[in-house]
């Protein structure tokens, strides 16, 4: 199955390290970061899981839940969790999906035809509270994922969902945004009474506050 931006994230039932879940029910009204790992006991993913656990307060602040997936079994997940806590200094504090039959992996297109069929590719999905897929990233096995970038994208999506703006290259929270072209100057005056800086008619910079 090919997942596309704006599509409803497929629902599923699966066993996880924190019990059996139905994905949409588990997600509730939260944002979700769903990310897959080729298999347990892999070095790069060990560092990623530790970092995700460490960042839980940041995810919580953004009303975001993290959930991992690999094609290994729950007993392997449990043994790997111990290694992660020992080597990374942060115990895994989010569910890890056990997907040995690859039902979820196939549903989300995490097994690529030219890759090793026994493992998933290293994907990241950001899913909003309406269960829409808002971001997809695919990483090579040798490159650790940048979870600061994942947080930055969530910040951008939450800001742009709440206001008629887009975020420019290398944007960071607190920096100026861009009024989207679909908003006329007349509409912009109502929405942004603080005014804006128009470098070009289509490039209007505005200071906006992130949603609380």
Q: Note the pTM of the prediction, 2 decimals.
A: 0.92
What value does the mean pLDDT of the chain take? 91
Whether 196 shows a pLDDT value over 60: the answer reads yes
The pLDDT confidence band at residue 209, using thresholds 50, 70 and 90, is confident
**In the prediction, which pLDDT does 120 show?**
57
Whether 72 shows a pLDDT value over 90: the answer reads no
Q: pLDDT: is 72 or 185 the higher one?
A: 185
Other Cβ atoms closer than 10 A to 151: 18
> For residues 211 and 195, what is the distance between their CA atoms, to the nearest angstrom?
19
Residue 205 main-chain phi, psi, to 5 deg: -90, 140
The verdict on whether 113 is a catalytic residue reads no
The pLDDT confidence band at residue 113, using thresholds 50, 70 and 90, is low
CA distances from 24 to 7, 16, 98, 182, 211 (A): 14, 14, 17, 32, 24
**In the prediction, which pLDDT does 2 show?**
79
**Of 65, 49, 67, which is closest to residue 147 (Cα–Cα)?**
49
- How are beta strands 177-179 and 197-200 bridged, if at all? unpaired
What mean pLDDT is predicted for residues 82-100? Answer: 93
**Top mean-pLDDT range of 2-16, 35-49, 69-83, 198-212:** 2-16
What mean pLDDT is predicted for residues 140-163? Answer: 93
> For residues 16 and 75, what is the distance between their CA atoms, to the nearest angstrom?
11
> For residues 61 and 193, what is the distance between their CA atoms, to the nearest angstrom?
28
Domains of the chain: 13-144 (3.40.30.10), 163-206 (3.30.1020.10)
What mean pLDDT is predicted for residues 15-27? Answer: 97
CA distances from 188 to 157, 163, 202 (A): 20, 11, 12
Catalytic residue, candidates 9, 14, 33, 45: 45
Total residues belonging to the chain: 212
> For residues 94 and 73, what is the distance between their CA atoms, to the nearest angstrom?
16
> For residues 174 and 152, what is the distance between their CA atoms, to the nearest angstrom?
11
> For residues 18 and 137, what is the distance between their CA atoms, to the nearest angstrom?
25
> For residues 140 and 76, what is the distance between their CA atoms, to the nearest angstrom?
23
**In the prediction, which pLDDT does 57 show?**
97
Whether 182 shows a pLDDT value over 80: the answer reads yes
Q: What is the dihedral of CA 110, 112, 117, 119, to 10 degrees?
A: -40
**In the prediction, which pLDDT does 174 show?**
93
Burial of 16 (0-12, 13-18, 19+ CB in 10 A): buried
């Amino acid at each position: 199955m090919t997942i596309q931006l704006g599509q409803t994230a497929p629902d599923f039932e699966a066993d996880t390290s924190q019990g059996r879940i139905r994905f949409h029910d588990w997600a509730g009204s939260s944002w979700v970061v769903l990310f897959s790992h080729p298999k347990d006991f892999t070095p790069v993913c060990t560092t990623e899981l530790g970092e995700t656990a460490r960042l839980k307060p940041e995810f919580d602040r953004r009303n975001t839940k993290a959930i991992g997936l690999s094609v290994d079994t729950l007993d392997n997940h449990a043994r790997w969790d111990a290694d992660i806590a020992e080597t990374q200094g942060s115990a895994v504090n989010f569910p890890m999906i056990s997907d040995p039959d690859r039902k979820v992996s196939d549903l989300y297109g995490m097994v690529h035809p030219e890759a090793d069929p026994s493992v998933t590719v290293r994907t990241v999905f950001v899913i909003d509270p309406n269960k829409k897929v808002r971001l997809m990233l695919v990483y090579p096995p040798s490159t650790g994922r940048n979870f600061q970038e994942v947080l930055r994208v969530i910040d951008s999506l939450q800001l742009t969902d709440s206001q008629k703006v887009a975020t420019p290259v290398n944007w960071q929270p607190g920096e100026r945004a861009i009024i989207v072209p679909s908003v006329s100057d007349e509409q912009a005056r109502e929405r942004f009474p603080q005014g804006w800086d128009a470098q070009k008619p289509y490039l209007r910079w505005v200071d906006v506050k992130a949603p609380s």
